[in-house]
Structure 1
Amino acid sequence: MTTNAPHTDAPTNAQQEIRFQIMWNRLISVVGEQARILIRTAFSPIVRECEDISAGVFDTQGRMVAQAVTGTPGHVNSMAESVGHFLRHFPVETMKEGDAYITNDPWMGTGHLNDFVITTPAFYRGKLVALFSCTGHLMDIGGLGNGPDATDVFMEGLSIPMLKLVDQGVVNETLMAMIRANTRLPVDTEGDTYSLVACNEAGAVALRDMMDEFDIDTIEPLANYIIDRSRQAVLEKIAALPKGRWSHAMTVDGYDAPLELKATLTVAEDGVSVSYDGSPAAVTRGINVPLAYTKAYTVFGLACAISPDVPNNAGSLAPYRVDAPAGSVLNALRPAPVSSRHIIGQMLPDMVFGCLRTPLPDRVPAEGTSCLWNIAVRGVWAPDGDSKPRAFALAITTNGGTGARPGLDGLSATAFPSGVHGTPVEIAENQCPLIFWKKELRDGSGGAGLTRGGDGQIMEIGTTNDASFELLAAFDRVKYPPRGALGGSNGAAGIVKTSKGRSLPSKGLHVIASDERLHLLTPGGGGLGAP
């Protein structure tokens, strides 16, 4: 006689692991589809062509579960905190299907007013199961424009607090009218706002399809698995590191005077912390950095050096801790001007690498151009066939060279750490009356070394008509070029001038006359090791 064992359909641990892994890959496809909708439908060229975005899915606790494999660390990692702010203002029990929430608050968003963040609750069979959030850069949001000249945030443009943009499918037309009335590009700005809404809606639809496919009614077990495993993976990486404390300092151009940034990095058993204690106080122009943006790029630098193969989510971010003194240039408080926060914020991976050069010399590069050399231009023009002149405002994304890497040369004309694409010349010339007479590599601008720094670019820009245009300059590495390391040479400094021999300050509003051309020479990256 035999005894029948109890029958169960419960999956084994190994089966559950495989199932979670398949679902994880499917979730990456969901947020990938979310991001592609945003890129394909955006009006702003910096989103449509350069992918200056973020997109991701969060659980109902506000933890980032997965992000699209595109976009910038400044958007993605600050968005990871933004959703928590949305939940404070709009608790989950108040959310309804068809709602969407918006802000561009620099201290609860991505660090400046030109980025809209929209968060949308996702429902499945009448139950709230997740949140989708996304960010996109808008060309113009009023004020003095996307440059560093303002002396407080109120001068930098329209500020949108935490507000409900869509209420159960009904758009807040009053808010949309306010947005249109406070930008030089009302059609583009309205279109970009709806693009962000559509992006999240696409994510919610894709998630519902996924939940149907796997026959689940919640993503919480999957979220816990992803976050716990990612956190543990980072802690294992940290456990293998030398323990100790290292410091680094870097001088950047600043606005009116140079600024010396200071960082101390500590590796302990339970995580890695970076303190910017000793960094200078906030300045009176818009190069200050809100703490969320400081955290975003600092953590990105840590992840590049320590855990580059671990997915980016709430779990993998948790072991990294960042602080800066309140009121400092790296923890600017309202109402400090912050429009060009990327200038200093994107230098912070180099600060992290400088701290890690002693314990991990074979993992970190020399300094690069780092901060984007965005050519922000503005003016009025009448395109062929148009009888009525209209305003234009455009940020043309460019960069210099990256720092030399251990065993590899630096990359030329590449945006690291931001990761955005360069704006194609054809797109820029189609959007405004500029013409690029020259755009070529700046040969030899990368610093010499055992491995060389990447080269910058040379650009010569004029107009196709008789009009002048405004340049909202926000460039760095002009007075203090990217430094070489371990015996490598410095990269070449950046240069901003005109065809008439005028040397222009690297920050501030300049008018380029119709009979002169703008000449930009972007910096080269530093070399690594003795040549």
Structure 2
Amino acid sequence: MAGLSEIRMQVMWNRLISVVEEQALTLLRTAFSTSVREAGDLSAGVFNPQGLMLAQAVTGTPGHVNTMAEAVLHFLNEIPRDEMFEGDCYVTNDPWKGTGHLHDITMVAPSFKDGQLVAFFACTAHVVDVGGRGFGADGKSVYEEGIQIPIMKFAERGKVNMDLIRLLRANVREPNQVVGDFYSLSACNEVGHRRLIDMMAEVGMADLDDLGEFIFSRSRTATLERIAALPKGSWDNEMVVDGYDEPVKLATVLSVKDGEVNVDFTGTDAPSKWGINCPLIYSKAYACYAVKCVVAPDIPNNSASLEPFTVSSPVNILNAERPAPVSLRHVMGHMVPDLVLGALAKAKPGEIMAEGAAALWNIHISVRPEVGKEGRRSEVLMFNSGGTGARPGLDGLAATAFPSGVHTMPIEATEHTGPIVVWRKELRPDSGGAGRLRGGLGQVIEIAPAEGHEFDFSAMFDRVNHPARGRDGGDDGAAGVVELDDGTKLRPKGWQHVPGGKRLILKAPGGGGFGPAEERDDEARADDRLKGYVTDKT
């Protein structure tokens, strides 16, 4: 009977994952913003009544999922149980209690069955605009970066808070898109709730207590077994990245002991006066993700499997406190896995991938008609990726978003959102670092305002002055480039202008190589040239 009970529990666990996957797909199907609908910049999950994550959707980013795992507890701390009702939905974009910056909206909804609270559903998505200066690094405090929504009710007993809707419409540039995404997030949680109740009714479950204990006990045990197999000790690593107007040093010490892996960011540079700071909740999300990728990649992500991975830090750029500007927190946050993996490479030599482009090459474009001409205004957000680092047994991946995992929006969808033309989007030859295993290629993107228009754009790029480093003798990847088609060099961060008739050219960085280049197989070299990944110039 015990065996049958375990099999039944495993089936229910799989059913629960399918519930949250449908929850996430609802958000993908109904979202207004291309960052959600096309790129999958979201997360979804189900939590027990104590706010501990039981299961997450596969669809989504580590930064959203792992911060959401902590964020739900903040909601429970601020909304008393006796003020929670069927049909409620709660919301925030608080960077320190949500996912690190104002553009991410997190919604949490209680799930009741027969009047009893049985679960919470939560989801997060990046919206196109939150007012303020817009999505960029130029703010000097979080107060400049957009509207702040404290933890509050989006809906109570099924009735939407229309005062909040009116405030949103008065504070953002794209009110229909933003408000549409709020309703989409709410619908996402509602679908999760309905599917969960259907599942519980079908199998006669009154609550999720036994299933939760089954999930947590097995996840915790499996994770601790993996940690026990690691070498014990401490290893450090440092890396320098572009920053805003001066380089930024990131530092870590990774310590492995019985039952715990700790990542400490002591030695990292102080917070910046620009909006590239990162709240610890987001730095922690990507630090845990990096360790889990190496230690326990096949163990499902939930509160128990995350529990043994801890993060500590003094106040610095990876642990910035309110009211620091944090709009581009993803740039530093996406560097954290390379930082942590560099320390792990000392603990597990020869087994860890090289550094990659890491931070997404996002671009937010604010388009308008040229003076005296007719046209339309629009806010356009576009995701792009450089190459990943080479792996111990495989070349790096070209134009792939690691560690975030988001997709690039299709050109057709991007051009549909505003009057711009993407003239070129192609792999960048010779950008992957040479090595026994070659680094992944970056890409070249060429963007122009449509006829009669001009645009300002928010540059959110890194690895322009500090390219991805190779591992174990591999060469560095190519540095990124930001320029106009006339050769004018532009800054890697900050709002800048592209006049009508000009084109913006982005050359995303490549990943570092792994192992000495002279050890690369002749057949692999020939294949690189045949495919155009490497030219005769190199």
Name the TM tier (shorter chain): over 0.9
3-state SS, counterpart of residue 299 of structure 1: helix
3-state SS, counterpart of residue 267 of structure 1: strand
1:361 Cα deviation after fit: 2.7
1:25 is aligned to 2:14 = yes
Picking from 295, 302, 311, the partner of 1:322 is 311
TM-score between both structures, scaled by the size of structure 1: 0.96
1:275 is aligned to 2:264 = yes
Counterpart contact for 1:410–1:451, Cα < 8 Å: yes
Picking from 359, 363, 368, the partner of 2:347 is 359
State the alpha-carbon separation in 2 of the partners of residues 74 and 498 from structure 1.
32
Deviations 1:280-308 (A, max 9, x none): 11010000000000000000000101100
1:300 is aligned to 2:289 = yes
1:390 Cα deviation after fit: 4.2
1:477 is aligned to 2:466 = no
Q: Which amino acid aligns with 2:484?
A: T
Picking from 192, 196, 199, the partner of 1:203 is 192
Deviations 1:485-524 (A, max 9, x none): 1000000000000012210010011010102100110000
Q: Which amino acid aligns with 1:509?
A: W
Residue in 2 aligned with 1:463? Answer: 449
Residue in 2 aligned with 1:164? Answer: 153
Residue in 2 aligned with 1:256? Answer: 245
Q: Which amino acid aligns with 1:479?
A: N
State the alpha-carbon separation in 1 of the partners of residues 369 and 210 from structure 2.
55
1:358 Cα deviation after fit: 1.8
State the alpha-carbon separation in 2 of the partners of residues 115 and 238 from structure 1.
32
1:438 Cα deviation after fit: 1.2
1:74 Cα deviation after fit: 0.7
Residue in 1 aligned with 2:532? Answer: none
Residue in 2 aligned with 1:125? Answer: 114
Counterpart contact for 2:254–2:263, Cα < 8 Å: yes
Deviations 1:57-106 (A, max 9, x none): 00000000000001101100000011000000113332110011000000
State the alpha-carbon separation in 2 of the partners of residues 394 and 105 from structure 1.
23
1:394 Cα deviation after fit: 1.8
State the alpha-carbon separation in 2 of the partners of residues 381 and 440 from structure 1.
28
Residue in 1 aligned with 2:334? Answer: 346
1:466 Cα deviation after fit: 1.8
1:368 is aligned to 2:356 = yes
3-state SS, counterpart of residue 154 of structure 2: strand
Residue in 1 aligned with 2:415? Answer: 429
Counterpart contact for 2:350–2:472, Cα < 8 Å: no
3-state SS, counterpart of residue 457 of structure 2: strand
1:423 Cα deviation after fit: 1.0
Q: Which amino acid aligns with 1:417?
A: P
Name structure 2 gaps, 5 residues minimum.
518-538
Q: Which amino acid aligns with 1:142?
A: G
Identical columns (%): 51
1:497-512 correspondence to structure 2 within 5 Å: 497-512=483-498
1:155 is aligned to 2:144 = yes
Q: Which amino acid aligns with 1:460?
A: E
State the alpha-carbon separation in 2 of the partners of residues 159 and 363 from structure 1.
43
Q: Which amino acid aligns with 1:66?
A: A
Counterpart contact for 1:381–1:433, Cα < 8 Å: no
Residue in 2 aligned with 1:514? Answer: 500
State the alpha-carbon separation in 1 of the partners of residues 239 and 482 from structure 2.
22
Q: 1:41 to 1:381 in 2, by over 3 A?
A: farther
TM-score between both structures, scaled by the size of structure 2: 0.94
Q: Which amino acid aligns with 1:331?
A: N
Deviations 1:86-144 (A, max 9, x none): 00011333211001100000000000000100000001111110000000100011000
Residue in 2 aligned with 1:220? Answer: 209
1:460 Cα deviation after fit: 1.2
Residue in 2 aligned with 1:63? Answer: 52
Q: Which amino acid aligns with 1:415?
A: A
Q: Which amino acid aligns with 1:397?
A: F
Counterpart contact for 2:91–2:149, Cα < 8 Å: yes
1:391 Cα deviation after fit: 3.0
3-state SS, counterpart of residue 357 of structure 1: helix
Residue in 1 aligned with 2:33? Answer: 44
Name structure 1 gaps, 5 residues minimum.
1-11
1:449 is aligned to 2:435 = yes
Picking from 375, 382, 386, the partner of 1:396 is 382
Select between 387-396 and 419-428 the one with higher mean Cα deviation. Answer: 387-396
Counterpart contact for 1:184–1:391, Cα < 8 Å: no
Picking from 242, 246, 261, the partner of 2:231 is 242
Counterpart contact for 1:140–1:183, Cα < 8 Å: yes
State the alpha-carbon separation in 1 of the partners of residues 431 and 395 from structure 2.
13
Q: Which amino acid aligns with 1:451?
A: L
1:16 Cα deviation after fit: 1.4
Counterpart contact for 1:381–1:432, Cα < 8 Å: no
1:389 Cα deviation after fit: 4.8
State the alpha-carbon separation in 2 of the partners of residues 235 and 388 from structure 1.
63
Q: Which amino acid aligns with 1:456?
A: G
Residue in 1 aligned with 2:520? Answer: none
Q: Which amino acid aligns with 2:83?
A: T
3-state SS, counterpart of residue 505 of structure 2: strand
Counterpart contact for 2:369–2:454, Cα < 8 Å: no
